[in-house]
Structure 1
Amino acid sequence: MRSKYTALQITLHWLVFLLVVGAYCAMELKGFAPRSYRPIFNATHVTCGISVFFLMIARLLVRIKYRAPAITPKPHPAITGVSHLVHTIIYLMFIILPILGFLTVYFKGSDWSVFGISMPHAIEPDEDMEFTIKSYHELIANIGYFVIGIHAFAALFHHYVWKDNTLLRMMPGKKD
């Protein structure tokens, strides 16, 4: 059995990571930019978000095809259970967030595009629906900070405290 994830899994993981950072940074930093630059920040956020959606679907399909390499030494079953829970939350979060973002812009009712492709929008704007969906989008995105933090902390804890191969399994580079 292999000791690392496949090159495809590692690439998808780190590409999603970069796109999530891009999406979060675009929203957090847009308030510091002049108003004339805000559409660029919004477009970056939407483009990163939609890209994350498709890559997370790809990650899920690849994850179904390829089993995770074993953690050595093997952790306690409770740790494995918590890990599976956190990973499930991450997958759900980064599939649901782009859907909610898409619906927010859809109900805004104005023309918009992604990658130069014109996207559908409501014929009549529905501000109530837009703001309701946007509030869920923002809530889940804010929870995302904590979930991502827990995920990163756990990887580092595995590496530096428990000294197992959890983190090394997802690092790019040569195979063991």
Structure 2
Amino acid sequence: MSSQSTKYSSVIIGLHWLSLILMVLVYLSMESRSLFERGSDARDLVKALHYSLALTLLLLTGFRVLARLLDKAPPIVPSPTMLAQRLTGLGHLLIYGWMLGMILLGYLVLSLEGHDFQFWGLSVPLLTGEDSELAHQLEDVHKLGATLGYYLIGGHALMALWHHYGRKDNTLYRMLPLAKFKSGE
């Protein structure tokens, strides 16, 4: 990407929006499990889908982190204050940390429960031996983290809209695939 570019690379933009789609599917798969009776094949399928989608998101997040390290972010026009830049960096760090932490925590819970599970049909090794008490405690943390995720994702979207409508800068445009920024909109 050239230093004059006003948008992220198409790779970063694609990874961003694909991550959002996967995240929505991860949430939908877990929220919809209650539609099915405990122990039913349909409920087990929805849970298996949740695990595979989450691990896919984990891999995709690894690619996103690598892409962000290799590709310089385009400048925000007009430039925000240093404090705003630092807060933005902290917000992104929280979102990436939350995504990675939630998925790894879910994997740990499954391992502690002794549940064999698959990643799109491939067996996934368990990380630990069984410890149902610790699994239950960490599952509560995982559920709390899922609720926190709604706020992080919502806050991220609200900040993008605030930049667009409030600050009238190019923050949102930098991540939209086809949009062009016109200064002063």
Q: Give matches, 1:78-117, under 5 Å.
A: 78-117=83-122
Tell whether the 8 Å contact from 2:33 to 2:46 is kept in structure 1 after alignment: yes
Quick one: structure 1 residues 119 and 49, their matched pair in 2 at CA, closer, same or farther if it must change by over 3 Å? same
Point out the structure with the larger helix share: 1
Tell whether the 8 Å contact from 2:111 to 2:129 is kept in structure 1 after alignment: no
State which drifts further: 166-175 or 75-84: 166-175
Quick one: which amino acid aligns to residue 27 of structure 2? Y
Quick one: structure 1 residues 124 and 96, their matched pair in 2 at CA, closer, same or farther if it must change by over 3 Å? closer
Tell whether the 8 Å contact from 1:112 to 1:119 is kept in structure 2 after alignment: yes
Q: How many positions carry a matched residue from both structures?
A: 176
Q: Which residue of 2 aligns with 1:26?
A: 29
Provide structure 2 residue ranges, at least 5 long, that are not aligned to the other structure: none
Tell whether the 8 Å contact from 1:108 to 1:121 is kept in structure 2 after alignment: no
Residue from 9, 14, 17 that aligns with 1:14? 17
Tell whether the 8 Å contact from 1:112 to 1:118 is kept in structure 2 after alignment: yes
How far 1:110 sits from its partner (Å)?
A: 2.9
Distance (Å, rounded) in 2 between the aligned partners of 1:93 and 1:123: 22
Tell whether the 8 Å contact from 1:109 to 1:122 is kept in structure 2 after alignment: no
Quick one: structure 1 residues 119 and 157, their matched pair in 2 at CA, closer, same or farther if it must change by over 3 Å? same
Question: 2:54 aligned with 1:49, yes or no?
Answer: yes
Deviation digits for residues 79-135 of structure 1, max 9, x if unmatched?
212111110000101111111111111111132211111122378532112112212
RMSD over aligned Cα atoms: 1.8
Distance (Å, rounded) in 2 between the aligned partners of 1:42 and 1:151: 27
Distance (Å, rounded) in 2 between the aligned partners of 1:123 and 1:81: 38
Distance (Å, rounded) in 1 between the aligned partners of 2:78 and 2:128: 57
Tell whether the 8 Å contact from 2:26 to 2:53 is kept in structure 1 after alignment: yes
Instruction: Among all aligned residue pairs of Structure 1 and Structure 2, give the percentage whose two residues are the same amino acid.
Output: 35
Provide structure 1 residue ranges, at least 5 long, that are not aligned to the other structure: none
TM-score w.r.t. length of structure 2: 0.88
SS in 1 for 2:80: coil
Quick one: structure 1 residues 45 and 147, their matched pair in 2 at CA, closer, same or farther if it must change by over 3 Å? same
Distance (Å, rounded) in 1 between the aligned partners of 2:61 and 2:146: 16
SS in 2 for 1:110: coil
Distance (Å, rounded) in 2 between the aligned partners of 1:154 and 1:162: 10
Distance (Å, rounded) in 2 between the aligned partners of 1:122 and 1:63: 29
How far 1:161 sits from its partner (Å)?
A: 1.6
TM-score w.r.t. length of structure 1: 0.93
